[in-house]
Structure 1
Amino acid sequence: MPARKSVSGRKPSARLLLAAEVARLREESGKSLGQLADETTYDRTYLHKLETGVRIGSPEVIAALDKVYGTGERLVMLWELAREDVFPDKYKRFMELEATATVRYEYSAATVPGLLQTEAYMREQLLTARPRDDDELDEPVAARLSRREVLTRDAPVDLRVILDEAVLRRPMIDPTDWRDQLTHLLSMTERPTVTLQVLPFAPGLQHLLGGSLTILWQPDGSSAAYLESSAHGELVENAADVEHLRLSYDRLRDSALSPRESVALIRRMMEDSTP
């Protein structure tokens, strides 16, 4: 039997497939939006946005719908596909490599890397883009949080992070949220697969200052790098160029505090931030 063609001639996006399935399940169940809101504890307006594809929602609300409809994890699996629509196309190749990487090096000059951010940190940073409503903010936050699974899976990625001292000198608006973020950094260093170092101001200028760098090693030994500024990102897969960036990273690490000294510095900063 030939494959069914869409009316428009284009493949439907995972976002629209998720929305259609959520709407179909409610229609088959005979439930009203009000009843569904009572059973899931989520606002009916929010649920309507899921059914129309305006929002893909968070994994929590999708899991709640799976439970109500008795669909196992079918909706959650669709959400995993739909979340990719949240990120720009140019970022998706990086996400593919990120998911399969066994070793990951990161350097950040300005902000806490996404894998080490608390939800409050994510929200404060994304708020500067001035979203129209909370729903618009929830979607990228949920997508970012889901990327942290590489740290908790059965074979977690070996993560090595260098934070510029400037990252630790730019606190959040709420002092409590900032202490929670610093506490989270310290808790992450207790994981055997996470190494954190701080690059102090004292060594002076460095080649990579002004942006961030991620290097991903794959199981077959190949590697790729991702350079990112506040407005642009570039995926580098040429072996010679990646090697050049790795050497720059190594020089940063040579100038950085040791993991133990870095933890001590973060602890001192927490003490200094205590009211």
Structure 2
Amino acid sequence: MIRIHHLNCGTLLVANYPTVVCHCLLLEDPNGLALVDTGIGLLDVQSPLERLGQPLIEMAGFQFNEHDTAVRRIERFGFSPNDVRHIILTHCDPDHAGGLADFPHATVHLAEEELANVQSGSLRYVPTQFAHSPRWQPVSQSQHDWLGLSARSVPLGFSSEVLLVPLFGHTAGHCGVAIRQDKQWMLHAGDAYYLRAELTTDDHPVSALAAARADDDHSRRVSLGHLRRLNNELSDVVQIIGYHDLTELPNGLTQ
């Protein structure tokens, strides 16, 4: 069974909102390591203005701490960056894809719709984060059913099943990542919600921000509805975590 490590791979400070983190996952399997999202990368930390630009830094509230990068977090577990054979992206926004260049030999799995959105030149992405020519492996649509939702198998060759679960809206190809844990699942929901409170309320102040940053807000709200159903009806089967809510990180991982 895959062992799941939780990583805090970045901090964002936006005025009038709670401090948020970049909650990545490291999947440890006898056949190698896989990283779910990559947080803020080493190159972002070393050259923030050249990589991201001042307007984006200020809008998103990027904080640049080398010890927070995925590559440094993984090294503290005793692994080498070369042990990371796979990266699974929920989507390619700059706070999720910044660490890609730190793992240049990893295969990068993402929904085919998300890769198409990147390659279309959408202004929400940062081309410098892809300048190293990632080894893209787009995952196509399938007829796989997962707890009433469509899902796509991610070909990792690991001992446990890993799926991309389309949760479109935040971006055109945004997906959650579901990891089987014996008879249960963990679902990393990416940015399908910013704060866990969105699973239970429609009038949280962050909802306006989520709507403003969505490629398709109607689809975003449909995806949020799917997560609410899972949370309300199947919480004994699936544990849902998001990317940004600091309270979802296990104790001791906020530093």
The TM-score normalised by the length of structure 2 is 0.26
Question: Larger Cα Rg: Structure 1 or Structure 2?
Answer: 1
Tell me which protein shows more helix as a share of its residues. 1
Tell me which protein shows more strand as a share of its residues. 2
The TM-score normalised by the length of structure 1 is 0.25
